Structure formats: structure tokens, C-alpha cells
Structure 1
């Protein structure tokens, strides 16, 4: 049975790094919202502030892949419950389980360093500044989720934690 991995967390916490490492291990589709929103921006529609368009489009692609039996990793900030629910609705429509993963960097200095030194690998994407990240609205979770703190952890250790939660979800229905 396919599983939808719903990654959330502020920019610079390590979501994409984890997703890129996890995807081949699960033979999962990696849906990076930054890529979808950059494509919308450079399309003929020239959508520069996509609001929910990127989430809705990516969730539709997620649902299609889940229906084919593919695991999917949704890599997005998912800062508010509304965006998190878009992914949950995709999992529900495909009749699959979802694993919510909140990625954090608990050390502010390390998080700031990551924001200030990261490279932009999507030309149409403007990376946020540290000030923008600090001001970003991020609602507390109301649902159960796995919290991965990437501060002073090897990527593989965090991926192993996600894989363990995945195994429990598949085997027992919860983690």
C-alpha cells in the first residue's frame, strides 16, 4: 500500500535534503512545492504569488501517483492547517495512509547559517532571507506527526527515523 509523506517545516530546516535522500530508498515520487511554484511563475500564466495553486496542483499529482501505488513525498513548508489538509484530502481520496513529518532545526544560529549559506537550485525561486523566515507564520500542529530535529544529526539518522515510522505505519496502522 502506498503512503503519502507530508513534510512540513520552515525553509532551511532540511526538508528537501531529507526528501531527496528518502525518495530513492522508498522508490517514492518527490513532489517539491518550490519546483511547482517556480513553474507556475515561469508559465504563460506568470503566477508570481501562487497562493494555494501550487499546493492544489501538487496534491492532484500526489493523488494520481498514490492511486498508481507509488509512495509520494510532499515537500512543502505547509505552514498552516489548510495546506496540511490539502495533502490529507489527497491521501483520503486515494485511500492511503499519510505520515506527517515536521522537520525542525532547534538551534537558531544553525538555522540562520543554513538560510544565509544555502544555494538556490531553482532559477525562478527567490530564497527567503533570515528575517523573512523569522516572520513567517507557522501554525502549531493539531494532528499527530513525527518531529525530526535536523540540528547536529546526520541526514541518514533522520531518514532512518522516518523509515522506522513508515514501517510501523504500514505494519500496525500507526507509529
Structure 2
């Protein structure tokens, strides 16, 4: 049986973590959240960290590769703002022989997106969340090549999860 790496990409507040949590529970996959890894790196007594650059992504990709090699489906929950970060996940799938599913999440309803960003509380202890201005200033390259595009402002959570789960079965 071939395992799948589902890579969720999108700006903060588009619903990546919510969808990842529900998808992982539905299909029995391992949910890997870059926010948790990067916060653990910041909290580590071994490091003084300002900018993590790609350290969190590199660590999470190593864990993803090990999980895929052990036969687990993986849901990667990261912003993946530019082509370089997306290619890194694709390389993990290629290296492990896993199927790869890129899912680009957006929220075209600007008011809904802003309300999500401004109304959420951190789920990862110690994690500082970006405000609306920081989200809008974030470097983001459109992800035209994604396998699946979901506008979370227009698609209900369960429908989004069902669409991704269906694509996992198709691949």
C-alpha cells in the first residue's frame, strides 16, 4: 500500500491547522505542524533563535520522511509561501516513494479571513500569532500548480476534509 504526503499550504488564518487536525483524524494520518516544531526550537535550552529560516521545515521534513518510510500517511501543516518550500515537500515524497498531494488553501472572503486571524488564540503554548498586517505583508507566491485548491471562505470544513480525503484515495 502506498502512503501519501498531503501538503497543506496557505497564509495564516486560511484553516490549515483546523483542516489538518480533522483530516488526520478521518484518515488515520500523522499530523505534522510546523508551528509546534518551530516553537519547540525557540523554547529549546540549546538554542538562541531569532529567525529560524528553514530550520523548522527541515526538521519536519525529516520526521515526515521517517513516518512515510514506516507506512504512515502524513499531513504537513505549513504556510509554504514560496516555490522553494513546496519543492522541499515534493522531494520528501519522491525520496520515500510516497504519493504527493499539494493542497492550496485560500480564503477569498477578506473579512472572514481577517476575523479568523484576529479572533484566534494560539494552540501551541508560547506561540506568538501574526496580526492581520503581518499576514498581509507576508511573502506569498500563488500556488497555481497545486493538485487541489480550496477556498475555505466558501467551503465548509467537512467538505474541505472530504475533498482532500477523496483525492488521497484517487492518487
Normalised to the residue count of structure 2, the TM-score between the two structures is 0.95
Aligned pair count?
A: 169
Deviations 1:100-149 (Å, cap 9, x if unpaired)?
00111110000000000001112221100100101111112252420111
Unaligned residue ranges in structure 2 (runs of 5+):
none
What RMSD in Å do the two structures reach over aligned CA positions?
1.1
Unaligned residue ranges in structure 1 (runs of 5+):
170-175
Structure 2 distance, partners of 1:112, 1:15, is: 15
Instruction: Find the counterpart in structure 2 of residue 158 from structure 1.
Output: 160
Instruction: Find the counterpart in structure 1 of residue 51 from structure 2.
Output: 49
1:30 maps to 2:31: yes
Instruction: Find the counterpart in structure 2 of residue 118 from structure 1.
Output: 120
Structure 1 distance, partners of 2:133, 2:3, is: 38
**What is the CA-CA distance between 1:162 and the residue it aligns to?**
0.6
Instruction: Find the counterpart in structure 2 of residue 130 from structure 1.
Output: 132
Runs of 4+, deviation exceeding 6 Å: none
Instruction: Find the counterpart in structure 1 of residue 149 from structure 2.
Output: 147
Instruction: Find the counterpart in structure 2 of residue 87 from structure 1.
Output: 89
SS in 2 for 1:78: coil
Instruction: Find the counterpart in structure 2 of residue 7 from structure 1.
Output: 8
Q: 1:122 to 1:48 in 2, by over 3 A?
A: farther
Structure 2 distance, partners of 1:126, 1:90, is: 28
SS in 2 for 1:99: strand
**What is the CA-CA distance between 1:152 and the residue it aligns to?**
3.9
CA contact (8 A) 1:36 1:54 kept: yes
Structure 1 distance, partners of 2:99, 2:155, is: 27
Instruction: Name the stretch that deviates more: 139-148 or 51-60.
Output: 139-148
Structure 2 distance, partners of 1:126, 1:16, is: 15
Structure 2 distance, partners of 1:32, 1:144, is: 19
Deviations 1:17-51 (Å, cap 9, x if unpaired)?
00000001111110000001001100121323210
